Every structure is written in structure tokens, then in C-alpha cells.
Chains A and B, each alone.
Chain A
Amino acid sequence: MRLFIFAIGGTGSRVLKSMLMLSAAGVRPLDENGQPVSNMELVPIIIDPHKGNEDLKRTEAMLSAYRSIRYKLYGNRTDVDGFFANRIVTLREIMRDSSIQLNDTFIFNLSAVERNKFREFIGYDTMNEANQALSSLLFSNDQLENKMNIGFVGSPNIGSVALNEIKDSNEFKAFANVFNQGDRIFFISSIFGGTGAAGFPIMVKNIRQAANLDINNRDVLRKAPIGGLTVLPYFNLELGDDHRIDKADFIVKTQRALYYYKETLTGANDSNLNTIFYLGDQVVSVPYLYDPGEHGQRNRAHMIELVGAMAPFKFAGLPNSQLSDDNGYPLPSTAYEYALDKDTLNVDFKAMGAETRALIYSKLVKFHLLFMHLNTGFKDTIGQGYTNDKPQIKSDFLASQFYRTLADDFMNAYKEWITEMYNNMRSVELFNIGEWDMNKAIHDVNTAKSFFGRKSVDNNVFKSVMNNLSQSSTYAPDEVELKFLDLFNRAADKIVAERFENIN
């Protein structure tokens, strides 16, 4: 099954980044029996005209890093366990129709939108006087003058016009061509901004009205299971003189958009959207720097994005019977909400519900231990123990593109991500930030008790368990990278289960 994930706007990129982190940790969508969904491929498509958005750029860089790491580990295989388990592909990679020109990127090409001011985009200057008057009534002067390469600056009314062009794009045609029976579609967007709030309903409308478009797979698309994550206001902005985006408008815009969604997407008998996840928090974030777009918009990662990242996994694991009727037609919307187990400002694993812990706890802990091991112990291990088993991990491994991408690019981004979440409000305190002692890595979780005190976890324990596992493992000569991460993953499985307190 392919899950096409349209991440719209800044929030879309940030949630996608959290989803990448979970995927890197090995979190996979689980079906109703708790088994990983088989043959799963994720196809993220970022829709954001604001190419200079730092959050988008960070997510794009991570997507590329993830993709190259995963390819080196597993090639094109899908059903694998371990770190970087989910296969993530671009539209270009899975496209069959080579007549469609497409860049090998995760970003939807919106060049037609980006290069114009909104007034140029709608041809304001060529309108007759009556239409100009009507346009001036619908759009403020600021909005008409808005250069759209910085996004829609919190204005869904201009976004809804500009993004309507999407249906004619090569990306949309390519998506329609590769979409098959059994695939699913998921949208990630905020409801209180401009790009996401506008893009989400437009995209759903275009997919459901596929019969009117000149594309393949119209019928399959019309019946496609569609889910969406709608992020309600969760962050705060610093006060500024410029009021193009005003946090005071967030709630009002949300209310109006929710009414609109109810009319067009999520009504009781409405089958446009099968599943919707509502997510928000009355505890607002640490105020973000006010930046409508000109300075890159780089916001701290947030707990809402981490929780939101689980929504596509949940959606991918839902049984077909909850999404389509016996004839394959989509069922009306089912709404999901999320609650913490404990309403606290410092969210650790124990504050999350049992279902969340079951999904992410051991995976994220293992990934964090990998992060620590790469920073504190791995280099000293080379030339000893399991690294000498065939295929050997030699010192030149440290200079390889794979290692640099993993240990530098990806792990630095991971560190940034957990630190940003920790420094935000609510503070996500899954791990003790800055702590390099593995025994104290997990917040409020000790190592297990033993006869002589508490069990110990350190790089030597990992080395020993990996030595043991390596004795009974076989890897092909070109699977050095897989050998390292697979052994570490299996060792971490054992160590987390046996040497840390069980909080599940």
C-alpha cells in the first residue's frame, strides 16, 4: 500500500519532520492486529509556495538524508524491521509515465504561484473596473500586493485561489497516474494559517472531483480513502508592528474554517474525507519570532507535531471496513482526537497514553541510544569485536557518505528536534537532554533493578550484545551499513527490554 502524504504549509513540513524522526526510529503503521502494515510505501509531497521557509528546507534536507540512508540499508525492499524501516519515495521514483516531466524532489512545484504577486496571479490589472472592484472587496490591498514566494501570509482566501492551480500541475497528474486501488491519501495542514487551511479542502475537492479532470485513475481517486490531520492553534507569536499575521485571529480563523470544513468535508453525511484527526493545545507554545515569511520562518519543533506525526500511521493502519463500504465507496468522516494521559507541562513517555507508548517508546529509546552510541562509543569500537566479523566495519566506514549522512546530517537534525521540543511549551522531555550517560538517558525511567543494585547500560554493554548477535548473523559483503544498524537495533531491543524498567 502507498500512503500519499500531502504536507501543506509550514505546519505540514514540521509534522512531516516529526514523522521522519519516528520513521527513522523504526515506527511503522500497525494494522488492527498490531502487525506492521505490509508492503508500505510513504510518498510525502510538500505543498508550500514559500520555498525559503526554513522549516521546509530542514524537512527537505532530512527527507533526502533519510532516503539515501534507507536506500543504502534496504534498497527498494519494503517489509523490513529496524531503523529507517518505512520506505519513503518521491513521486518521480514511482512514476510509470515518463512523458510527465517531474523533478526528483518531495516538493510540489508551484513556480506559477511563487513568482507572482497575487494581483498579477489573478490578472488584476487586466480586469475591467467592475471585476477590480469585486477583487478589492474580496482581497485587501496587502493581500493583492503579497508576493507569493513567501506563502499566503495567513490568508486562506488568497491561498484558495492560488492553489486551485494545483490540479493542472505535472505533480498532480503524476500522482493521479501512480495512485492505485488500495492506496490511501493523507493531508497534514494547519487550520489557522494561510497555505494549509486553503490547500487542504482544495486538494480534497480536486481528488473527489477527479471525474472532471483529464487524468488517469479517475474512478480510483474518486473512491480513494482520504484522511487528514487538521492542526488547531498551538503556537504563539511574538508581538510585532506588522500585523499581517495576528495571533488574535487564530481562533476566529479556526472557527470559520471548521464551519467551512463541516460544510464541505466532514459533515455527517459527507464522504469527501473518511478520517479526520483534530489536534490542538490550549497551552500555547513559547512565542515564535514574528515572521510572515521574509526571514525564513524557522519555528521550534513542538509536541503537537510529534503527536500529529502519528496520525498518518494510525490512518494507514485502519481497516478498509472503516473507510469504504462494500462497493468501495468512501464512508462518511470519522473524527479522532488525542489526549495525554497526564495533563502536564513536561511531557515524558509516562505522560503519554498506553497506545502511544506501545507505538513509539521502545523505538525512540533505541534510536536515542543509537544517537548516543554514535557520539560516544562507536568510533572506539572499530577494529574490535563484531566490527571484525565479515563484512568488516573498518575505519574508512567513518568517512563514508552513509556514515556522514547518518551521524552528522541526520543525527544533528535529531538532536535539534528533541532539543527544540524540550525547549518549547509544553516541554517534551522524553530524554534527559545533554545527558550522555545511557543509564540516565530516558526521563524518569531508571535501569532495571538487579541483585547488586541497578543494571548498567553503556557502550560496552552494546558492544558485548552486538558481538554475541554478530556470531549468529550473516550479511552480504556489501551490507556493512545494514550490519551495523541491524546489530545495533537488535541489541537495543534486548537491552531496552532487559535493562530498563518496563513502563508499558
Chain B
Amino acid sequence: MKHFVFLGIGIAITLVFFILSYSQSFNIFEQLYFNQGFNDQLYNLSMYPVLALIVIILTWGAAALYYYVINSVNFDRWYHWAGVLGITTLVSPIVCYLYIDSALKNAGLAYGGESVQFAMQLLLMSAVLFVVASFSMRWWSTNCRHTPIPQ
């Protein structure tokens, strides 16, 4: 039962993240980094929900990969999990940056420096969401349910 509560909380946090990603009044992407012109373009091109989805899919996907595909006694130490966290935290902003850069170029806009700075904030968001995803789904993993810390 406790494990389903964790899963529910994790899903709720992720949904809130997604909802806040296209919120006008309190947009989560604009809290850590805001540049008037750049953020307006992201909002106008409806890129926030797509970015949120990329982060969610990559972090939850990486957690699922670790807990249910890798799922091995050879990779059940905390540092193995930390490795996946690190990779995910790096990959997610890179993918987001590539998406932003591509979308802005297609629109004939050039925000190279802003795109990089914006992507940096996704490091933190990806890390947080990977932790949320991990603590939502790890309980049913055969070999890694006690990673990174015992239940």
C-alpha cells in the first residue's frame, strides 16, 4: 500500500510539473531562468509542454530502464543508480537544447546563448524528476528495489 502511495505522489508531482509547464501565471520554466524575448518565443511556439514531455519521458524512461530493464544484481549499488541519474541529468537538457535550437531556427530566430542558459536549468529539473520517478517505481523492481537507499 505504501508503495502505491509513493507511486501516486510521484505521478501527481509529475502532473503538476507538466501543468505548470504551460501555465501562464506560474510557469515553472520561467522561475529559474527568464529572458523576456526568448521565453516569449518559447511560450508563443508552445514549446513548454513539449519540453516538459521530453523531460518527463526521459527521466521516467531512464528510471524504468534502470529498475525494470537493467534490473541486475550487477548494477544494484547506489553508485550505479547515481550513474544513471547523472547520464539522465545530462542527456535531458541536451535533447531539450537540440529541440529548442531546431525549433527556433525553423522559426528564423537565433537565441544561441539563451538556449544554453535555459537548458542549464533543466539539469536541476531532470535530476529532481528522475529522483521522483525512481521513488515512484522502484518498489517492484526485482533486483534494484533497495537502490539507492534500502526501503
Residue of A nearest to B150 (CB): A388
Stretch in contact with the other chain, from B21-29, B69-77, B89-97, B125-133: B69-77
Chain A positions within 8 Å of B142 at CB level: 464, 467-468, 471
The interface residues of chain A lying within 8 Å CB-to-CB of B145 are 467, 471
Instruction: Tell me the count of chain A residues lying within 8 A, CB to CB, of chain B.
Output: 12
In the docked arrangement, what's the CA distance between A471 and B145, Å?
A: 10
Question: Across the two chains, which residue of chain A brings its CB closest to B151?
Answer: A388
Q: Which of A426-483 contact B (CB under 8 A)?
A: 460, 463-464, 467-468, 471
Report if A385-B76 is in contact (Cβ < 8 Å); known contacts: A464-B142, A464-B143.
yes
Q: Which of chain B's residues have a CB closer than 8 A to the CB of A270?
A: none
A-side contacts of B140, CB under 8 Å: 471
Question: Could you tell me the distance in whole angstroms from the C-beta of B129 to the nearest C-beta in chain A?
Answer: 25
Chain B positions within 8 Å of A389 at CB level? 146, 151
Does A385 contact B151, Cβ atoms closer than 8 Å? no
Which residues does chain A contribute within 8 Å of B72, judged by CB atoms? 464
B151 touches A384 (CB 8 A): no
A464, B150: Cβ atoms closer than 8 Å = no
- A392 contacts chain B at the CB level, 8 A cutoff: yes
Task: For the complex formed, measure the closest distance between the CB of A475 and the CB atoms of chain B, giving whole angstroms.
Answer: 15
- The answer to whether A467 and B73 touch across the interface, beta carbons within 8 angstroms, is yes
Considering only residues 45-98 of chain B, those with a C-beta below 8 Å from chain A are 72-74, 76-77
Minimum Cβ distance to chain A for residue B13 (Å): 25
Report how far A383 CA is from B151 CA in the complex, Å. 11
The distance from the CB of B137 to the nearest CB of chain A, in whole angstroms, is 14
User: 8 Å CB contacts to B: which residues of A373-399?
Assistant: 383-385, 388-389, 392
CA–CA, A464 and B73, complex, Å: 6
A-side interface mostly: helix
List of B residues within 8 angstroms of A468 by Cβ: 142
| Chain B residues whose C-beta falls within 8 Å of the C-beta of A463 in the assembled complex | 73, 143
Report the minimal beta-carbon distance from B114 to chain A, rounded to whole angstroms.
45
B143's contact among A383, A385, A392, by CB below 8 Å, is which? A385
Question: How far apart are A133's CB and chain B's nearest CB, in angstroms?
Answer: 79
Question: On chain B, which size bracket covers the interface?
Answer: 10 to 19
The complex places the Cα of A32 from the Cα of B72 at a distance, in Å, of 43
Chain B CB within 10 Å, residue with most, of A385, A460, A463, A468: A385
Task: Please state if A388 and B146 are interface contacts (CB–CB under 8 Å).
Answer: yes
Across-interface contacts of A385 in B (CB, < 8 A): 73, 76, 143, 146
The answer for the CA separation of A383 and B72 in the assembled complex, in Å, is 15
Q: Which residues of A contact B146 (CB under 8 A)?
A: 384-385, 388-389
A467-B143 in contact (CB<8A): yes
Q: Provide the bound-state CA to CA distance between A275 and B145, in Å.
A: 55
CA distance A463 to B151 in the complex (A): 17
Q: Which residues of B contact A384 (CB under 8 A)?
A: 73, 76-77, 146
- Which residues of A are found within 8 Å of B76, using beta-carbon distances? 384-385
Q: In the complex, which residues of chain B have a beta carbon less than 8 angstroms from the beta carbon of A388?
A: 146, 150-151
A468–B145 Cα distance when bound, in Å, is: 10
Minimal beta-carbon separation of A208 from chain B (angstroms): 59
Task: Give the residues in chain B near A467, CB-CB below 8 Å.
Answer: 73, 142-143, 145
Closest CB of chain A to B46's CB: distance in Å? Answer: 43
CA distance A388 to B145 in the complex (A): 9
- In the complex the two chains form, what is the Cα distance from A389 to B151 in whole Å? 7
Shortest CB distance A499–B (Å): 15
Looking at the assembled complex, report how far the CB atom of A456 sits from the nearest CB atom of chain B, in whole angstroms: 12
Q: In the complex, are the beta carbons of A460 and B74 less than 8 A apart?
A: yes
Interface residues of A in 83-115 (CB under 8 A from B): none
Contact of B150 among A392, A460, A471 (CB under 8 A): A392
Bound Cα distance from A464 to B140, whole angstroms: 14
Q: Chain A residues near B151: list those with CB within 8 A.
A: 388-389
B74 contact set on A, CB distance < 8 A: 460
User: In the assembled complex, how far is the CB of residue B119 from the closest CB belonging to chain A, in whole angstroms?
Assistant: 36
Chain A residues, Cβ within 8 Å of B77: 384
CA separation between A467 and B75, bound complex, in Å? 13
Q: How far is the CB of B94 from chain A (nearest CB, A)?
A: 32
Which A residues from 157 to 204 make CB contacts under 8 A with B?
none
Least Cβ–Cβ distance between B81 and chain A, in angstroms: 12
A127 CB to nearest B CB, Å: 76
Residues of A within 8 A of B150 (CB): 383, 388, 392
Max chain A C-beta neighbours (<10 A), residue from B72, B73, B140, B142: B73
Minimum CB–CB distance from B53 to chain A (whole Å) comes to 32
Closest-by-CB residue of B relative to A469 is B142
Neighbouring B residues of A460 by C-beta, 8 Å: 73-74
Tell me, in angstroms, the Cα distance from A384 to B146 when the chains sit together.
Answer: 7
Q: What's the nearest-Cβ distance from chain B to residue A459, in Å?
A: 9
Closest Cβ–Cβ distance, residue A388 to chain B (whole Å): 4
Most chain B CB atoms below 10 A, which of A383, A467, A471: A467
Complex Cα–Cα for A383 and B150 (A): 8
Distance between Cα atoms of A26 and B151 in the complex (Å) = 32
Q: In chain A, what residue has the closest Cβ to B143? A: A467
CB closest chain-B residue, reference A384: B76
A383 to B145, CA, bound (A): 12
7 chain-A/chain-B pairs, Cβ below 8 angstroms? A384-B77, A385-B76, A389-B151, A392-B150, A464-B72, A464-B73, A467-B73
Among all A-B residue pairs, the 9 with the closest Cβ atoms: A388-B150, A388-B146, A463-B73, A460-B73, A468-B142, A464-B73, A467-B143, A467-B142, A384-B76
Other than the given A385-B143, A460-B74, A471-B145, 12 more pairs (CB < 8 A) read A383-B150, A384-B73, A384-B76, A385-B73, A389-B146, A463-B73, A464-B73, A467-B142, A467-B143, A467-B145, A468-B142, A471-B140
